[in-house]
Amino acid sequence: MKRIFSGIQPTGEIHLGNYVGAIRNWVTLTDEYDCVFCVVDYHAITVEYEISEFRKRAIETALILLACGLSPEKCKIFVQSHVPEHTELAWIFNCVTPIGELERMTQFKDKSKQHRANINMGLMDYPVLQAADILIYKAGFVPVGEDQVQHIELSREVARKFNARFGNVFPEPQALLSMAPKILGVDGEAKMSKTLNNYIGLLEDEEVMWEKLRTAVTDVNRVRRSDPGNPEICNIYTIHRAFSDNRILLDVDKGCRTAGIGCIDCKKMLFKNMIAELGPIREKALSLMKDTDYVIDVIRAGAKKCSAIAKATMAETRSALGILA
């Protein structure tokens, strides 16, 4: 069975973009692949974070993955720092990765702008640790949103460079995009993200969710209710595609283009479908919050299984490098 690896940072609330861009796809993939999903806490320390909240955040992130439908019987879920071989392999990969490649990474450039006071080595080295995450499990596929594709391409290059110099140890992984690989924020401009505060949180109260959706930017050219709109350039329609069936999508498309429906009508239909899917996830998350010991058991068991794989890959890697055993 081909292996899949993907990761998510424990930085604050998980949002709609994470869910439809990645997590929902992960759940489906567990039927067909040997899946490994990781809460990447070492990636998250490349920017400022709340130390006193950090443990809780790691547990909460794993908890949300479970609430979204990932089952420990069908995949491995763990926390990155619990398998320290990831960082060990990252060091080795550092020695085959050209600095120039890291400097041109879009995320590095964006984050350097956002965190001018703390442009640290970890921020630049971030994609190398990501390559180690994937390659330590020799994963063939990496289900991610569009923003991570450049990093997956770098992972391929790291594997190529390593193999060319030390022999064929690592496969070249491929990105797998979901049907909604890029969800914009409620501003309708930038990618939905935790840092930009333009997100709809997966576990937010229904009233808060509706308020954010109600005021979210749609097709900017549709100023008045009587103006026809264009669903193709409307972020709300993109989100509709992730939650609504074809019949509703056709109705919305037609209604929008002919000004038969207004943006609020469209949002109401979307909200109904969103809540139908997210309501049960929220309920499951709330019940898991009362049993975090279970969540901790799941991530400990996941780390144990992942450690065995990671240790084997490290032994092979050290041997390829000529390191004294």
By CB under 6 A, name the binding residues for ligand TYM.
5-9, 17-18, 21-22, 40, 43, 130, 133-134, 142, 144-145, 147-148, 151, 181-183, 191-193
For residues 23 and 96, which CB has a smaller minimum distance to ligand TYM in the complex?
23
Query: Minimum distance between the CB of residue 113 and ligand TYM, rounded to whole angstroms?
Result: 17
Q: Which is nearer to ligand TYM, 180 or 261 (CB)?
A: 180
Q: Which is nearer to ligand TYM, 96 or 261 (CB)?
A: 96
C-beta of 256: minimal distance to ligand TYM in Å? Answer: 22
Catalytic residue among 74, 161, 182, 191: 191
d(CA 239, CA 269): 11
For 277, which DSSP code?
H
Q: Minimum distance from CB of 317 to ligand TYM (Å)?
A: 18
* Cβ atoms 57, 208 nearer than 8 A: no
Q: Which is nearer to ligand TYM, 21 or 262 (CB)?
A: 21
CB contact at 8 A, 48 and 11:
no
Residue 247 identity (one-letter amino acid):
R
Nearer to ligand TYM, 130 or 261 (CB): 130
3-state SS track over 123-149: HHHHHHHHHHHHHCCCCCEEEECHHHH
Strand (E) or helix (H) holding 11:
none
DSSP labels, 148-197: GHHHHHHHHHHHHHHHHHH-S-----EEEE-S----B-TTSSSBP-TTTT
Cβ contact 237:99 at 8 Å = no
Minimal CB distance to ligand TYM: which residue? 21
Q: Which long-range contacts (CB under 8 A, 24 or more apart) does 306-311 make?
A: 306/36, 306/38, 306/76, 306/78, 306/83, 306/137, 307/82, 307/83, 307/85, 309/136, 309/137, 310/83, 310/85, 310/86, 310/89, 310/136, 310/137, 311/85
Q: Has 272 been annotated as catalytic?
A: no
Whether 111 is catalytic: yes
Nearest-angstrom CA–CA distance, 205 and 323: 54
Q: Residue 325 Cβ, how far from ligand TYM at the closest point, in Å?
A: 28
- Which residue lies nearer to ligand TYM by CB, 145 or 262? 145
CB of 191 to ligand TYM, least distance (A): 4
Distance from first CA to last CA of the chain, Å, rounded?
Answer: 31
Eight-class DSSP state of 118: G
The torsion defined by the Cα of 88, 92, 94 and 95, in degrees rounded to 10, comes to 160
Choosing from 194, 212, 284, 305, the catalytic residue is 194
Min CB(209)–ligand TYM separation in Å:
16
109 catalytic, yes or no? no
Question: What is the set of active-site residues?
Answer: 111, 191, 194
